[in-house]
Structure 1
Amino acid sequence: MQVFNTVMPILTIVLLGFLSANRQHLKQSDCDALAKFAFDYVIPMLLFIGTVNAKIPASMQWEFLFAYYAVLLFIYALAIFLGKILFQFSAAEQSVFSMGAAYSNATIVGIPVCLYALGESAILPLLIIISIHNLILFTLGFIIAERSAFSMASLLQNILGIIRQLITSPITCSLIMGGLVNIFKIPIYPPLKEAITLMSQAAIPTALFVLGTTLNKYKIQGHIAPALVIVLLKNIIFPFLVWVLVFHVFSVAPLWASVALLTSAMPVGISAYIFSQKFQVCVAPIATSIIISTITSIVTLSFLIAYVQSIF
């Protein structure tokens, strides 16, 4: 019943967003504006205020970060191998395919799920994962996609472009600014802090509603076999390996281990689709995997939420 109470509000808002777009109560321009409001305003404010209020531990849980990203890199490498062996993918196709298998929807799904399931104390470990997620995966993506025409100048240009985009994005800026305010104990004018807090409270329902409107854009477009391999890697193998490491190999605090586990089980991130469009390869498999992965994650995340809640 506790899991049902956690999952149902999330699913209800996502469904409402989906139906609003599907029934054309909201036009595509409305959905785009709402997504911009979510990603440029309320989500950054939630991340900022969450970072400001976070209790930074005296010693960093490095095992937590190592476990998550060691598995992520393993899944990425395994997906490259499977893409080449099973589907004879090109370098660019392998890159996009691997992105789908390793890229968690850690922001738009991860934040609501982790906060609902684990409480506000989950925000710090989740933000640590989010802060370097794009840098690692997009850098790897460009290296793998363009390795046949590899040049150090091209690599550096792409990496600098990624870093520039990350630094100037509202989400990254909010994390950096919140961290600086927290570390240096910079006071915030109380009415301003209250205004930011009020705006941040709209982040979770807005993000979930936007997820619903976004899912309406994706259709099962065929290429089922590669899509199912992506879902198997992303929804099953990734969280299983993270569970092994954070709960049975390394000494990770239960809360941090739970955040790593839930984040690893998030559905395929929408950025994987954007990446596929950039290279114009694997667009259909990624779109199909986003739909199947999101539906599958309803079951897998419900099971994992029950598991992590039983720990506390």
Structure 2
Amino acid sequence: MNEVFYVLAPVFALGLIGYSATRFRFFTSSHRDGLSKYVFDFAVPILLFSTVVELDPPVVSATALFASFYIPLSAIFVLGLLISWLLLKRPVVESMVIGLGSCHSNAVLLGIPIIPRALGDDAFFPLFLLISVHGITIFTAFTLVIEIAKGRDAGLANLPRQVLIGLIGNPLIVGLGVGFLWKLTGLGIHPIAADVFDLVTTSVTPAALFVLGSSLASYSVSSSVTAALLVTTLKNAIHPLAVFLFGSWLGLEMLWLSVATVLAAMPTGINMYLFARRYQVSPPTATTSIFISTVSSVVTVSIVITLLKSI
């Protein structure tokens, strides 16, 4: 446990610094927007590109990896939806947003800083495989089901166009795609370019964590605590357990299983709030869920990593 503490303490400390800076108004929302754009549009894509080019990926099928992560993810979404709808008596569209929060991980702002630190550099390849389809898969599937539920044919008609624009305009997908294409050329990365990339990629972790902490300062705990606790329980505990059990049953190699499990243990991502605002279904529930899930992940992620290292 001490080893895990030393790995995670600096990560969450940086988030706390970002949170405090925003709370005390040394760091404003406009500052956060600029730093966030740097992280998502420049630094992380460059990290993905350079890592993919330099990786020697194992010759192994990724089918079991995707199945181990995305089948439990789908089950958790349905479970969160049903509990919210049938037990908490929330409207069906709001229940879908709660289901989304129960299964959607904060893959970039926390997954990328934590997982390689905890599991080693060999974790990069399976992590990036999962991240490469994480956002667009969830966006497409969730938009599809919610538009069907709302009976908006126009929304469904625009879905293919939205997905295409999302793929082309997603800097993470571009970074991965260009990286894989460049790797096929066999040219490698020039030493000067490699030094530039190193300078940029070393900034990813502190900048991403600072943005995360600052974002949390903008959220508040509302009266929607019951739904938020449901989201947190499913996301931080049940989701990683389901991924581990299903991945073990499929015989997934231990490192890849650990990556999928820890990624599943990451707290709720910001997409829950974005969809709640888009469809005007209780944004306070989303902000409360993200806040509680992220704060409690200090403990839950530590427990998950400790248990995985003991196996």
Q: Is the 8 A contact 2:147 2:153 kept in 1?
A: no
Aligned residues of 1:97 and 1:282 also touching (Cα < 8 A): no
What secondary structure is seen at the aligned counterpart in 2 of 1:219? Answer: coil
Shift in Å at residue 179 of structure 1?
1.5
- Deviation of 1:143 after TM superposition, in Å, equals 2.1
Cα 1:147/1:207, change in 2 over 3 Å: same
| In 2, Cα distance between equivalents of 1:282 and 1:52 | 43
Equivalent position amino acid for 1:103 in 2? H
SS where residue 146 of structure 1 aligns?
A: helix
Structure 2 residues without counterparts, runs of 5 or longer: none
Q: What corresponds to 2:176 in structure 1?
A: 175
After superposition, the CA RMSD in angstroms is: 1.6
The match for 1:304 is: 304
- d(CA) in 2 for partners of 1:279 and 1:47? 32
TM-score, scaled to structure 1: 0.94
Equivalent residue letter for 1:31: R
**Closer, same or farther in 2 for the Cα pair 1:229/1:149, shift >3 Å?**
closer
Aligned 8 A contact 1:94 1:144 in 2 = no
Structure 1 stretches of at least 4 aligned residues deviating more than 6 Å after TM superposition: none
Q: CA deviation at 1:73?
A: 0.6
In structure 2, C-alpha distance between the alignment counterparts of 1:161 and 1:178, rounded to whole Å: 24
Unpaired segments of 5 or more residues in structure 1? none
Letter in 1 for 2:164: I
Q: Distance in 1 between matches of 2:121 and 2:149?
A: 45
Q: Partner of 1:207 in structure 2?
A: 208
1:198-230 superposed Cα distances (whole Å, 9 cap, x missing partner): 211110111111111111111101111111111
Show the counterpart of 1:260: 260
Is the contact made by 1:83 and 1:89 (CA closer than 8 Å) also made in structure 2?
yes
Partner deviation per Cα, 1:108-156 (whole Å, 9 max, x = no partner): 1001110110111111111111111122211222222221454666324
Matches within 5 A, 1:103-114: 103-114=104-115
- Shifted more, 74-83 versus 155-164: the winner is 155-164
CA contact (8 A) 1:80 1:94 kept: yes
Instruction: Report 1:17-96 matches (<5 A).
Output: 17-96=18-97
Q: How does 1:218-237 map to 2 (within 5 A)?
A: 218-237=219-238
1:180: how far off?
1.5
CA distance in 2, matches of 1:286, 1:111: 23
TM-score by length of 2: 0.95
* 1:97-118 deviation per Cα after TM superposition (whole angstroms, max 9, x unaligned): 1111110001110011101101
| Cα deviations by residue, 1:146-182 (Å, 9 ceiling, x for unpaired) | 2145466632412321331232121110011111122
